[in-house]
Amino acid sequence: MAQKKPAKKPASKATKKSPAKPKIVPKSKSMAAPLADLSHVEVEGSAKLTYKGKEIDLKVLHGTEGHSTLDIRPLLPQFGLLTYDPGFGSTANCRSAITFIDGDEGILRHRGYDIADLAERGDFMEVCYLLLHGELPTPQEKAEFEQTVCYHTMLHEQVYPMMEGYRRDAHPMAVMVGIVGGLSAFYHDSLDISDPEQRMLSSYRLIAKMPTIAAMSHKYSIGQPYVYPQNHLKYAENFLHMTFSVPSEPYIVNPVLAKAMDRIMILHADHEQNASTSTVRLAGSSGANTYACIAAGIATLWGPLHGGANEAVLQMLAEIGSVKNIPNIIRRAKDKNDNYRLMGFGHRVYKNYDPRAQVMKKTCEEVLRELGINDPMLDVAMELEHIALSDPYFIEKKLYPNVDFYSGIILRAMGFPTKMFTMLFAVARTAGWIAQWKEMIEDSEQRIGRPRQIYVGENKRKYVPISQRGSAAKLRAV
């Protein structure tokens, strides 16, 4: 005989109403959010170009700050000319209202706010909100934003078997590229980039899930059980907890280390049109979904010339070993016939002191003091910094310490393995990538990216049947 189910008790007045779930996307900042305002571009004059007896006036554009820009779009249709700029060092490929850099003056601002102010007085969630929405949040907006991010920190359970398809010794960036790109297979409700609601949903999901993916990758690599996110912890605290806690004992997040991690994330949140950000924009211009675009940015960041610089600094300091070895290293660095290069000095953009490096140096000192670490690497680093700021050679070459100079020491002191350094960079930079991607999608002037080239290959040739082909030299003569 089937057993009768117990009769349900009528719900009391106190339990009739279930607690409200966090909103998937705050309605005040989704459909109602204004599109990116990119209208602050003015024509400040023109430049005359003469070619083969024909003249053309090219507009000179200027934004709110920064260099004036020559609008070269008429060159190809009117003159049949392209421009040549390897590395795009003198080319503006978009309009943007997110980040401003003045490399000569050592300025970095997000939405008008100096990076030092944001790092010293704000937190990473505020900066994420600022990058996405253009303004610092009110207390209510910040609480809603943090609640929403917390709500999305967990991963779909089928992602965990995906992780176990990788070797345990796989590089964390290889894992992150695959997992982030694979998220598009799980979250079909946020793939339509033409829908502002879905764009915001995928944006919040990525910001929320990146620390979980990074921590999960670390745990898998060392054979420890995964640690699920805790919604009562703040963003940086949650990441440290997922990375370093184990089920067998409680883990108390050190507030000094949590603050240091939060600052590191702020300092890496966005940096204008760098290689990975430009990649995200280029991928996004094709209409690819958010997850695919961010995976493309992660792949670009993996390159040692971009995201791996702090790891290289750590290796350099270890090789130097002691302050007494610095004079020989400086001599080698100055010798133009020696290929030796000091890592962590100079920057593609900054021709002055990297404004992020000052905050990072202070943070480094706080972390080492809190942990009671007397790291000889810091002595070497401080002496190198002193030389760089006083030696005429370094001043003339403008080889000032950059943000990578101290970040590697901090991360090592906190217990992160060296191979995780670039992954931590990706966790922080996701907010900037998403803000730049979102702005690109909403820019009416943007089209699918299609760089041009100077062709230096063969002219037209006739196809030669394989039976008649001789050596390469003979073929060129045909």
Neighbours of 471 (CB within 10 A): 8
Reference 274, options 89, 70, 71; nearest CA is 89
Annotated active-site residue 71? The verdict is no
CA 413 to mean position of chain CA atoms: 22
- DSSP code for 35: P
d(CA 333, CA 339): 8
- Residue 346: partners with Cβ closer than 8 Å, 6 or more residues away: 397, 398, 399, 400, 402
Whether 63 and 43 have beta carbons less than 8 Å apart is answered as no
Reference 153, options 220, 222, 226, 224; nearest CA is 226
Residue spans of alpha helices (H) in 33-156: 75-79, 115-121, 124-133, 139-151
Distances (CA, A) of 289 to 29, 184, 297, 300: 20, 8, 13, 17
Reference 123, options 106, 102, 109, 137; nearest CA is 137
d(CA 80, CA 253): 62
Residue spans of alpha helices (H) in 9-123: 75-79, 115-121
Annotated active-site residue 85? The verdict is no
> Measured on CA atoms in the order 195, 201, 202, 207, is the torsion positive or negative?
positive
Task: Say which residue the tokens 């070619």 belong to.
Answer: 51
First to last CA, the chain: 93
The residue from 123, 262, 270, 404 that is catalytic is 404
Whether 97 and 111 have beta carbons less than 8 Å apart is answered as yes
Whether 52 and 165 have beta carbons less than 8 Å apart is answered as no
Whether 101 and 273 have beta carbons less than 8 Å apart is answered as no
Query: Six-digit token pair at 348?
Result: 């593609």
Distances (CA, A) of 443 to 95, 271, 446: 8, 19, 6
Per-position b or e across 356-377, b if 16+ CB within 10 A of its CB: bbbbbbbbbebbbeeeeeebeb
The residue from 241, 270, 347, 354 that is catalytic is 347
Report helix, strand or coil for 263: helix
Give catalytic residue positions: 347, 404
